[in-house]
Amino acid sequence: MPTSRRLVVLDPPPATPASPRDDDDDHFHDQCGVFGVFGHAEAANMTYLGLHALQHRGQESAGIVTSDGEQVYAHRAMGLVQDAFTQDQLARLPGRIAIGHVRYSTAGGSHIKNAQPIAVDYARGSLAVCHNGNLTNAEELRTELEERGSIFVSDTDTEVFVHLVAVSKEVAVEDRIADALSRVRGAYSLLFLTEGAIVAVRDPMGIRPLCLGAFRGDGDAHVVASEPCAFDLIGAEYVRDVEPGEMVIIDRNGLRSVRPIGRAPQRTCVFEYVYFARPDSKLDGRSVYDVRRALGRALAKEHPVDADVVVPVPDSAVPAAIGYAAESRLPFDMGLIRSGYVGRTFIEPQQSIRHFGVRLKLSAVEPVLRGKRVVIVEDSIVRGTTSRKVVKMVRDAGAREVHMRISSPPTQWPCYYGIDTPTRGELIASSHSVDEIARYVTADSLRYLSRDGMLDAAGGQKSMCHACFSGEYAIPFTPTHKRQLRLMGV
């Protein structure tokens, strides 16, 4: 291949140290968001905006790879989308095809070498890939590939795909990708980019979301994203979800759907509905907002409480609190306000201020809380540290009683399908009863929604993954994975 046709990497950034985690955000963290455009004159700009809309899925790094039909261009950087790209850098990503990625590290640490999309030159041209999910047999495949001579430059599962495609004996790139997919196990929503195509794939169980859209009035311009909220911002419209096990190829001949990896019983992540996805998104045909409100209604039916006001922990628990208040015929009010500040501070006053981190993000509205029996609705409790601070904040504002209601069951198990979770020992519900957790967070009462209540509200008793609540993992562990779990104390 002529040198001029090889991958162009803009402004290779210097090695960046890992950024510190936010200790006052006691949630599981979504892993990544993917976005792709085919056939649009402003593919890089559209992808930039699409990634903006997916920023809640990952804030550690962002990247865009484009193709002008002959050459592939890449730029990746640490930080939020708005910090990762300048106008000049976007202008230097030409072409009508683009894929992009926002990342919160799961497999692989927080470092520029793990930012995506990964883009490489190999014997048949240039190839880029970005991934939302985790592979359960990545270690085995990596070892096998390294023994065959592959050299890995990142710590991510995603790079395994690149090497598997590169060593495939198939000819057409979609066949090489299908060949690679036949080797992997786990959760993956993937976007591949070649000089002339985008290939979108969702794993056989559809664990992570992926959906298709189109630009109105332009039948040739297609978009693919983790969530359809990314379409609204750019004026594209939602067409449908990519089905579990489906591979969608978009090139100059249009859009084709093939099923090279088969389909297993669907197990979409129920936590996408509970917390991860944006409430204005629709996943597999269900409105996330409607599901969250239904979770709140179910919670009120299962665990009513004599109280004066229902207060959400903003922003994610707002729809569930609205549902709880409506079902229990109690007033809903914003007794906690989230600061408009987005991000973190690395400066703490030298004089210690108690609960400083939480106070940066949340503040109590005293007139709503003083003298009241308050129901605080939250979507989940991971370690319990933030809930404890929230209860204290509400009491300090004058609440007479504080009752916590959680719109999902206790999270007792780690996730291995692309979500950043602590080890089992760090999950408070894995070693403490509900009453013990109530005492720890200092609530007058604490109740969780049941598993059946959650699955009924989400509309998928049989089609949802609920392993972090139940320990019932849909994908069997490999021997290497089991060894890793033992080492992690799981």
Contact with ligand SF4 (CB under 6 A): which of 419, 428, 429, 457? 419
CB of 271 to ligand SF4, least distance (A): 4
| Residues 103-142: x where in contact with ligand SF4 by CB under 6 A, - otherwise, as a string | ----------------------------------------
Tell whether residue 271 is a contact of ligand SF4 (CB under 6 A).
yes
Tell whether residue 289 is a contact of ligand SF4 (CB under 6 A).
no
Tell whether residue 205 is a contact of ligand SF4 (CB under 6 A).
no
Tell whether residue 305 is a contact of ligand SF4 (CB under 6 A).
no
Closer to ligand SF4 at the Cβ: 77 or 283?
283
Tell whether residue 207 is a contact of ligand SF4 (CB under 6 A).
yes
Tell whether residue 468 is a contact of ligand SF4 (CB under 6 A).
yes
Residue 462, classed as helix, strand or coil, is: coil
Q: Which of 273, 324, 320, 314 is nearest to 293 (CA)?
A: 320
Question: CA-CA-CA-CA torsion for 379, 468, 472, 267, nearest 10 degrees?
Answer: 70
69 alpha-carbon distance from chain centroid: 30
Distances (CA, A) of 367 to 203, 334, 388, 422, 441: 49, 10, 21, 37, 23
Tell whether residue 192 is a contact of ligand SF4 (CB under 6 A).
no
Q: Which helix (H) or strand (E) holds 163?
A: helix 158-167
Contact with ligand SF4 (CB under 6 A): which of 269, 394, 397, 402? 269
Tell whether residue 415 is a contact of ligand SF4 (CB under 6 A).
yes
Tell whether residue 48 is a contact of ligand SF4 (CB under 6 A).
no
Tell whether residue 417 is a contact of ligand SF4 (CB under 6 A).
yes
Which range, of 80-88, 116-124, 269-277, 446-454, touches ligand SF4 by CB under 6 A? 269-277
Active site residue 130: no
Closer to ligand SF4 at the Cβ: 38 or 469?
469
Q: Check residue 459 and give left, alpha or beta (phi > 0: left; psi -120 to 50: alpha).
A: left
Do residues 139 and 160 make contact, with C-beta atoms less than 8 angstroms apart?
Answer: no
CB of 134 to ligand SF4, least distance (A): 9
Six-digit token string for 141: 């495949």
Contact with ligand SF4 (CB under 6 A): which of 97, 465, 478, 481? 465
Measured CA to CA, the distance from residue 191 to residue 100 in angstroms comes to 9
Measured CA to CA, the distance from residue 290 to residue 279 in angstroms comes to 8
Q: Which helix (H) or strand (E) holds 134?
A: strand 125-135
Tell whether residue 318 is a contact of ligand SF4 (CB under 6 A).
no
CB of 377 to ligand SF4, least distance (A): 20
CB of 193 to ligand SF4, least distance (A): 26
Six-digit token string for 144: 């096998």
**Catalytic-role residue among 32, 130, 465, 468:** 32
Q: Residue 473, Cβ neighbours under 10 Å: how many? A: 17
Measured CA to CA, the distance from residue 203 to residue 224 in angstroms comes to 15
SS3 of the chain: helix, strand, coil, percent, to 5: 30, 25, 45
Catalytic residues: 32
Contacts with ligand SF4 by CB under 6 A lie at 28, 207, 269-271, 415, 417, 419, 465-468
